[in-house]
Chains A and B, each alone.
Chain A
């Protein structure tokens, strides 16, 4: 008996001691925590890659900014497109019919996506200078982040006007101090210009695995677009001259070798990604390292060979299609009325109005609902630079110069359209440039911005022409600050835009 008790105790007590030492401090090995990070060159690169990734993906697995959500504001909000019958999202429909309200979920989402990207850029800009590694690379990485921050603020200031200007990572500060009001448009533009000026020190080009990063050319081109939007024509011209290839126009000094593709279709092909016309594009890809992108404009363009099934977006009305000459190669790239189905060997003809086609990835086989697509989204390309150049020369000189004509005609010639009527006055030429921009950049995130920067009632008048958009009001030249933000921060601090 005694023996048993001793053996029992000798069994129980060690068990007690052995098993009772679980630690409560968490040391995760499946997820990185902040204290472990921002220590090496690789960390710095990964932090900046994360900034880029905010352009082609959403943290909550929603649609990405570039490649879908931005277009809901710049496309559906403009006279280019409405919603398709298959799109039952009331918030998307409201944007297409200019009946949206401050609580619109898509406006809220686009706002969130922009600030999400800005926050990632702030994190990189704050942390990378404290990491000890090659100073050239270190400056480059910070400047890439600054370019993306500037790009996103440029969209914000155009969509919403005055807006909160956040330039640092908020993790280190008190939550209550995060509540802030709106900074004036001019201050935000100053920050955009400062960031972009810094970004002009980036490399001119990249090789190998870095192709697709921000270049100094992209910084100059975007800076030019900022100045054009600001109607700062002199500075715009200086920047444009930096981008436009030396010798093609008077005063141009660009050494980047940018040029138009011979074929308009090549702007939107997997095979010709990051080509000579692409100054900065958001990168998408299929089957790269076993992961697919979610270029969702492709599914907004094409969802089925079944002709009864609608894709996500359709043109606002038939006038858009009718703008194009039948010789205009942009028409067949921008729209489709039929698609070849390799699986059946038949061409499927879609009755009714033409549908959008730019972002259909024809390289995929089988060509199906286009849930995946590897077509890059051009943020700024050479045709944009040429048209901005034509516009700037027309504004500076009070009338179109020869170079202004040459610039717009280069874009037209590539499309297979005759030269613009000679001898136009400043106003007519301006109209021609904007019409050219409309035809060139359908679904490329320009139309709403162009309508608004013309000023006055230009947007209002254009949208009034569309039967579905007769509810347009003058307040629509700015999007409403998302209602949830105002609810959180307070209407006194974060004021709403006029009319909303």
Chain B
């Protein structure tokens, strides 16, 4: 009680002081003679004031914050001697003994303070030195790179986090794997925790099916420049607190907020231009005409083109180039942030606009954020984070990313004959190509088709924290994530997709609401200065509901209204709607204990109950243990301290889960079907899914051992980890004999392992007064292997598109995403035929045809000769980032790469299927021909050959990219103070200016099938990636 009375008095004085500050000038306040303990906090090197630094009098509750000039003062009766504990984010905390009243100059050492930093972990923060698990922070420098979506910023940032862009489409999805994929069928993406709100990113939530083509990225709704820091939790000790969501790693995102003692207005913006990084080599008109003639010869028909006609054709039309342009990208952000002793706030607004490098595509976003927190009293704190955005993506149409069929606006363009004219003399599109199935034009299809997704997202949380006792805090938070999507599609009657239907329109709407309530009790107490105990217990509950509707219509009298008014249409298409709800209830707990900050223990658990699982297995329990030892705190370490400034050993083990199956996966469901009697539609209802009341979690057991090493006064910091993960009870579709009427049932069988090691190296290469240079290297190796697919199954082929052979296999002993096909060995010679070398069974093979390798040596080439042609999983990934400062200049550059991953170049395969109507790859120029090119390396021209999955199309996808290079200049403080600016920085930057790769497609970062884990690294004519050059400005007042 005594304490509270003192606090009350103190509070009222403080309130009075704030009041005074409001009405009188600062200088008046500073002259207050009652102030006997005051001073100034500055940066050790630059001597710049550190506004917002916190000065605490040790052993008391007295704490003040330095103002804009770095100055602080205590209004207290405290008697000297006292000890100030001075701390500031990014600086080493210092204890300063004060023996006399009056002014004290305190300088703080910046930079390598990470070890005493506080790190955000699940449901709280922890001193970095006490952490037992593998927690990596994303380099701040990388966070400031221009990007549509923050998931792209994780690339190469942290060891063990692999990010692959699906395509170059603005706003496209990315595949993110932390320490490899655990699951074969479901949920391999990490969990995101944005200011405490749990988001399992599900791109299906923003894809209604009305619009076509590549999937829209739900994370693109979030403004990356709002992010203050990103922590990635990788091992079980760190992620088990997220239980059933933790198996794939956790990305903890903290957004920016104000600092105490300042009000800062900040503008940052950039403007740039982008272009495609590469173009494919295709046949030109005369080359293609000769090819058609060869095909005519091969089928015994008359040649289509005479020699003079071929010569007259020349280069013909460059369809590829016709749809490309230089696109602009711009981003503008205005924020005001600040705070006082009791409140902190940030208000920000953002506008982002990126024109795609393909006509009629792009991405635009408006967003705003308000973060606010206030200490209502010394015991009670409230806070809120509210974010809203509206974005629009105009994307290329085509078959849906997860569809089993291929079609795409861009591949269609590439496959269009160069002999066909793009435009007529009068500038209109040429629709009378002799090679197209309908009188349409593929370029016009791209420019005239509407294929847009409009996303609105509001993500807000409110939280209250109440100190029940000095050591015991109750925190209750409630949050909601609302995502609204509207998709519009219209193919006018003069486009290929709208031609047969006389205009085809589709609109889709999706509403997804997620509610989360979290209640935690935290007990935090230090027993003397020896035992540090933190106990967390909590109950959380989350509810998710999605609702979808799609309406379509066809046969429009004209193309004036398009998707805006379906009632103009002559034909309705059956509308669809859908909805699901799911819930998760969880009990969580964690004990962290540290003895002298030397020996640290973390015990954590989460019990999750998920509605999506079988009635008999709703609940799962996920425990973890972590131990760490700060060896450098031991007495015996003194001898080596000059070289080894820091050493910590970590060991953790634990289990996490994955239950990312769709709702109702365990129930015996019935599906509607349609039939017609007497020309009238009737509905049939039939079983579609077998019940499995035992459906349960996939469980990942993970072991991790690592060390943190600091050398030479922490100028060199190395973090190394080795891990082993085994995921069992995989959620697999176990095949049934088809005569049962069911193809499969979802069961928990089989297991997958991931093992690997990671290195993160931070070095302070140069630390001069005018020149400094810091580097970060991240390196990770992961090996993935399927251990079992359940009894009786050793392999299966994932669903292939109709008419295609699956290029991938899921097979015990191999990594998920292994390509499966034939080896080839040049071309068959007449000699080979005479000798009777093994040839492909069932096909007539002659000299000049592809020669396949009889892998099993049985004298003929059959599907049994197909074998492992490598995997889409890299052997290792790395990132190398550098920051240099010279006086007012700063330079940063960042390389990122991947080695040993393979890509199935399906587009190239398609471009090498020679027909008399479609264009082909320039590789065809070197086709074998008995008379004209007997040394050709490409098989002879055959009309519409069956494409085979061969080693030729399984390409090396290794690459090194210069992801970003930025040169900046910050104006001197003296110069800009005249306009009352605190900071002005100008910079120029290039993204992806250089890519080193052997891959022949557009970009080795490619994933036609998006997050489908079994079909990674397949390239079917994705949106080409681009390089960006931009200039930007940051101003802070």
Contacts and interface: CB of A to CB of B under 8 A. Distances in A.
Contacts of A21: 541
B801 to A, nearest CB: 10
B329 interface: no
Contacts of A12: 464, 466, 474, 476
Interface stretch (B111-119, B361-369, B738-746, B821-829): B738-746
Contacts of A29: 579
Contact of A47 (B666, B685, B738): B685
A111 interface: yes
B946 A34 contact: no
Contact of B677 (A26, A100, A213, A343): A213
Which of B610, B685, B735 has the most C-beta atoms of chain A within 10 angstroms of its own C-beta? B685
A289 interface: yes
Which of B618, B687, B799 has the most C-beta atoms of chain A within 10 angstroms of its own C-beta? B687
Nearest to B462: A15
Nearest to A25: B611
Contacts of B575: 290
Given A15-B478, A122-B741, A284 B676 contact: yes
Contacts of B756: none
B668 interface: yes
Interface in A12-61: 12, 15-16, 19-26, 28-35, 37, 43, 45-54, 56-57, 59-61
Interface in B505-547: 515, 517, 519, 539, 541-543
Interface string A67-93: 000000000000000000111111011
A170 B742 CA distance: 9
B639 interface: no
Nearest to B690: A171
A212 B681 CA distance: 12
A105 B297 CA distance: 32
A132 to B, nearest CB: 19
A475 B436 CA distance: 42
B917 interface: yes
B737 A179 contact: yes
B673 A94 contact: no
A118 B517 CA distance: 49
B439 A343 contact: yes
Interface stretch (A230-238, A416-424, A482-490): A482-490
B736 A178 contact: yes
Interface in A112-130: 112, 115-116, 118-120, 122-123
B675 A56 contact: yes
Contact of B517 (A20, A123, A179, A369): A20
Which of A94, A488, A494 has the most C-beta atoms of chain B within 10 angstroms of its own C-beta? A488
A30 B680 contact: no
Which of B575, B738, B841 has the most C-beta atoms of chain A within 10 angstroms of its own C-beta? B738
Contact of B437 (A22, A210, A309): A309
Interface string A296-335: 0000000110101100000000000000000000000000
B413 interface: no
Given A37-B670, A97-B842, A5 B466 contact: yes
Q: Interface size for chain B: under 10, 10 to 19, 20 to 34, or 35 or more residues?
A: 35 or more
Interface string B542-586: 110000000000000000000000000001111101111011110
B737 A30 contact: no
B888 to A, nearest CB: 49
Interface in A154-171: 163-164, 166, 169-171
Contact of B740 (A94, A119, A209, A494): A119
Contacts of B913: 88
Which of B434, B609, B615, B682 has the most C-beta atoms of chain A within 10 angstroms of its own C-beta? B682
A308 B842 contact: no
B937 to A, nearest CB: 23
B677 A209 contact: yes
A6 to B, nearest CB: 11
Interface string A250-276: 000000000000000000000001100
Interface string A191-220: 000000000000000101111110000000
A371 to B, nearest CB: 7
B738 A485 contact: yes
A175 B745 contact: yes
B619 to A, nearest CB: 8
A342 interface: no
B691 interface: yes
Given A1-B8, A57-B673, A85-B944, A26 B612 contact: yes
Contact of B676 (A170, A288, A488): A288
Nearest to B573: A290
A41 B502 CA distance: 40
Contact of B685 (A46, A303, A482): A46
A368 B668 contact: no
A53 B669 CA distance: 18
Contacts of A171: 668, 687, 690-691
A35 B668 contact: yes
A159 B681 CA distance: 32
Interface in B1-46: 4, 8
B578 A30 contact: yes
B541 A369 contact: no
A318 B924 CA distance: 32
A250 to B, nearest CB: 35
A89 B947 CA distance: 8
A210 B680 CA distance: 9
A374 to B, nearest CB: 8
B675 A291 contact: no
Given A4-B376, A100-B842, A308-B434, A50 B735 contact: no
Contacts of A8: 376, 380, 464, 466
Given A5-B466, A11-B464, A291-B573, A37 B738 contact: no
B765 interface: no
Contacts of B542: 22
Which of B575, B609, B842 has the most C-beta atoms of chain A within 10 angstroms of its own C-beta? B842
B219 to A, nearest CB: 25
A499 B686 CA distance: 37
Contacts of A131: none
Contacts of A115: 738-741
A306 B583 contact: no
Interface string B759-791: 000000000000000000000000000000000
A455 interface: no
A108 B805 CA distance: 14
Contacts of B612: 26
A428 interface: no
A49 B913 CA distance: 42
Interface in A447-500: 471, 482, 484-485, 488-489, 494
9 contacts: A8-B464, A22-B584, A34-B667, A34-B670, A50-B684, A90-B946, A290-B571, A290-B574, A471-B842
Enumerate the 9 nearest inter-chain pairs by beta-carbon distance, A residue then B residue, closest first. Answer: A119-B741, A99-B842, A50-B684, A289-B681, A49-B684, A50-B686, A368-B500, A89-B803, A304-B437
Given A212-B677, A290-B575, 19 more contacts: A4-B376, A8-B466, A12-B466, A28-B580, A28-B663, A33-B668, A34-B687, A89-B946, A111-B739, A119-B740, A163-B739, A166-B739, A169-B741, A175-B745, A212-B678, A273-B679, A287-B571, A290-B572, A306-B435
Interface of A: 1, 4-5, 8-9, 11-12, 15-16, 19-26, 28-35, 37, 43, 45-54, 56-57, 59-63, 85-90, 92-94, 97, 99-101, 103, 108, 111-112, 115-116, 118-120, 122-123, 163-164, 166, 169-171, 175, 178-180, 206, 208-213, 273-274, 283-285, 287-293, 303-304, 306, 308-309, 343, 352, 366, 368-369, 371, 471, 482, 484-485, 488-489, 494
Interface of B: 4, 8, 299, 301, 376-377, 379-380, 404, 434-439, 464, 466, 474, 476, 478, 499-500, 502, 515, 517, 519, 539, 541-543, 571-575, 577-580, 582-585, 609-612, 615, 618, 663-664, 666-671, 673-688, 690-691, 735-743, 745, 792, 799, 802-805, 841-843, 862-863, 913, 915-917, 943-948
